[in-house]
């Protein structure tokens, strides 16, 4: 299994187009905090503004040389906290790939930024993602009408194995325990 990332600032023109297509796909945009359709101009401006911005990082994730997902981290305070999210290539939604993407992303983010905690904001209507975060052991610390606000500490994440296959087995045990 090979996963690699490409920072948004290094995206080719084709990759930029691809990412915008995914971001505006209805099944993706409906679950974003900002649900509005993004124009090409806005997209390019957004990527341009990421230059020299140490508080945000956007990455395109490849699996076996196929671009499969975007994950991002904002409000980065190194050694302290950040907020993250991801979206899959639309045809891979519900493929089971989200588990692998999240495992890779959390390892990357906790390791790179030495975070004490990582937050996530998930729409209440996004049941599948909320269920995924619960199984990963994110905990809700706040909620409002539309969103659940989740957090995970470095200690909690560091208890997990760094091997994805083993982690997948651990998830299976957690799911079985929760359902029984």
What residues from 100 to 119 belong to the interface with other proteins (CB under 8 A)?
100
Q: Which of 128, 139, 143, 163 binds other proteins (CB under 8 A)?
A: 128
Backbone angles phi, psi at 35, to 5 degrees: -90, -5
d(C-alpha 3, C-alpha 101), whole Å? 9
* List 52, 54, 79, 179, residue binding other proteins (CB under 8 A): 179
State how far Cα 86 lies from the chain centre. Answer: 3
Does 64 participate in binding other proteins (rule CB under 8 A)?
Answer: yes
Give dist(CA 104, CA 173) in Å, integer: 20
* Three-state DSSP class for residue 37: coil
Query: Count of residues binding other proteins (CB under 8 A)?
Result: 23
Nearer to other proteins, 1 or 13 (CB): 1
Task: Considering only the C-alpha atoms of the chain, give the largest distance between any 2 of them, rounded to a whole number of Å.
Answer: 50
Distance CA 87, CA 19 (A): 10
177 contacts other proteins (rule: CB under 8 A) = no
Give min distance, CB of 1 to other proteins, in A. 6
How far apart are the C-alpha atoms of 45 and 16, rounded to whole Å?
11
Among 9, 55, 95, 146, binds other proteins (CB under 8 A): 95
55 binds other proteins (CB under 8 A): no
**Binding-site ranges for other proteins (CB under 8 A):** 1, 64, 92, 94-100, 128, 131-132, 135, 165, 168-169, 171-172, 175-176, 179-180
């Amino acid at each position: 299994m090979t996963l690699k990332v490409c920072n948004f600032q290094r995206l080719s023109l084709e990759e930029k187009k691809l990412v915008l297509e995914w971001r505006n796909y209805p099944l993706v945009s409906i679950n974003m905090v900002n649900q509005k359709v993004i124009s090409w101009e806005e997209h390019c401006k957004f990527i341009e503004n990421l230059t020299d911005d140490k508080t945000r990082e956007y990455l395109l994730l490849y699996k076996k040389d196929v671009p499969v997902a975007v994950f991002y981290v904002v409000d980065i305070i190194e050694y302290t906290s950040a907020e993250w999210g991801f979206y899959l290539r639309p045809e891979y939604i519900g493929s089971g790939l989200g588990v692998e993407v999240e495992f890779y992303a959390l390892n990357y983010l906790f390791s790179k930024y030495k975070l004490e905690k990582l937050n996530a904001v998930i729409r209440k209507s996004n049941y599948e993602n909320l269920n995924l975060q619960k199984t990963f052991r994110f905990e809700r610390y706040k909620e409002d009408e539309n969103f659940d606000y989740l957090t995970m500490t470095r200690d909690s994440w560091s208890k997990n194995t760094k091997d994805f296959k083993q982690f997948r087995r651990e998830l299976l045990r957690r799911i079985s325990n929760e359902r029984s």
